[in-house]
Amino acid sequence: MAQSYDVIVIGSGPGGYIAAIRASQLGLKVAVVEREHLAGICSNWGCIPTKALLRSADVMHTASHAKDYGLTLEGTIKPDVKAIVDRSRGIAHRMNNGVGFLFKKNKVDIIWGEAKLSKPGEVVVSKTTKKPVEPIGPIPKNTLGEGTYTAKHIIIATGARPRALPGIEPDGKLIWTYFEAMKPEEMPKSLLVMGSGAIGIEFASFYRTMGVEVTVVEIMSQVMPVEDADISALAKKQFERQGMKILLEAKVAKVVKGANSVTATIELKDGKTQEITADRMISAVGVQANVEGIGLETLGVKTDRGFIVIDGYGKTNVPGLYAIGDVAGPPLLAHKAEHEAVICVEKIAGLPNVHPMDKLKIPGCTYCHPQVASVGLTEAKAKEQGRDIRVGRFPFVANGKAIALGEDQGLVKTIFDKKTGELIGAHMVGAEVTELIQGFVVAMNLETTEEELMHTIFPHPTISETMKESVLDAYGRALNA
């Protein structure tokens, strides 16, 4: 007889494990089906281990500029590739084990294997055929295995994987995805990065700081195309000052592999072509949802452009079936998946006052050097919507703390609705802005106006003062610029 649960979650990434824990907290009997490794791509191959790599790059950057701070370092500063990678992978293992501990603490059952929806309310689990890129921690003890399981509510949280362009498919040796880029056996002398979204530009930043010759090819007219144009322009200027080469409105048309290098033919915006030879190439042209082989067709689950269609609470068109995270569409961010998980489960549990996801209030962060962070509408999007707006800008070069840190290249930009004073967008580039952006996120969630922000006291000296000055600037009241 099939084992029965209140909730079965398919996938244990940021969305899946948070959904399982919250459901357990609410008194529901919960199981998670996992085929590869606990904690998903984010903790094992994405958000966390990449930040470990970028932390090594930050330390190297600071050490390389020791003279700027009145310090003398003996000898040449150079990366130990194995030690950098080992540190990153060790952190991934720690995160993996941490999720296993949380499941045990919250009495969440783990079912190890491939999940397939066989009929409404039923999941058949078979032996996994998925081979991890590397083993990430042992399979937790006391896990369940192959069999048929039933649940009143089933949540799909299967995530996404790197997208490949025809003819330029990653091979794991010369053309990398983020899997291979995260654990190089040695530093290449040169690197071609196709795509300047968050993944592409973070790896470009890491490898450039490590001394690699980096060229970024972006098909759109700006780096990090989803960001505000002013922020993107300043970031590009800093990337190029670091020695990064950036080709915009350019397309990788063809790649020829050599014995230990690739030669790419680049189509430029003026119709001309250019050949670039590099030791390695990273394909960072987005991701595609993991929707295959899980029985969506059997149940008639509606999809759109490869993603599962849901409402504001994670419900699909099939009663009792839900989807959260990357598999349910953009923005493809771990914190979006986590928040969707909580909304979905609390709605299932019947809690009052559960609010649907407001995607305009989801912050985005890119951990390159300099960092980039944003929330809400860009200036261009606000104008497209016909909004009458006020825009404020404040540069880091006018901020005492940024100057003292030696990090005076940055910008904070705020966008307000002129009629109501509502903050509708905030965009930042510079040191530690991925930590600062949450202040604007909180403000937007509280429906804060410009007047309230102007009367908020920011500590001095801090980089956060640029946030208030940007607000003041939108109303012609900036005090330090």
What is the distance between the terminal CA atoms of the chain, rounded to a whole angstrom? 72
Report the b/e string of 139-149 with b at 16+ CB within 10 A. ebeeeeeeeeb
Alpha-carbon distance of 133 to 135, in angstroms, equals 7
Beta-sheet strands, E only, within 268-381: 273-278, 280-283, 287-289, 303-304, 307-308, 321-323, 364-366, 371-376
Alpha-carbon distance of 194 to 164, in angstroms, equals 11
**335 given a catalytic annotation:** no
Rg for the chain, CA atoms, rounded: 24
DSSP SS3 for 283: strand
Given the residues 61, 93, 427, 460, the one annotated as active site: 460
Alpha-carbon distance of 317 to 156, in angstroms, equals 13
Residue 263's alpha-carbon distances to 90, 186, 293, 451, in angstroms, are 34, 20, 36, 55
Look at the block and give the residue holding tokens 């490794």: 37
Residue 159's alpha-carbon distances to 24, 297, 450, in angstroms, are 21, 18, 38
Alpha-carbon distance of 466 to 453, in angstroms, equals 12
The reply to whether omega before 14 is within 30° of 0 (cis) is: no
Residue pair 303/290 in contact (Cβ under 8 Å)? The answer is: no
Alpha-carbon distance of 300 to 303, in angstroms, equals 9
* DSSP label at residue 422: B
- β-pairing, 175-176 vs 280-283, is parallel
User: Token digits for 428?
Assistant: 């930042």
Phi, psi of 264 (to 5 degrees): -105, 135
Q: What is the largest CA-CA distance in the chain?
A: 72
Residue pair 31/9 in contact (Cβ under 8 Å)? The answer is: yes
Contacts of 390 (CB under 8 A, 6+ apart): 415, 416, 418, 450, 474, 475
Which of 288, 70, 31 is closest to 177 using CA atoms? Answer: 288
Which of 271, 331, 3, 354 is closest to 149 using CA atoms? Answer: 3
What residues are annotated to the active site? 460
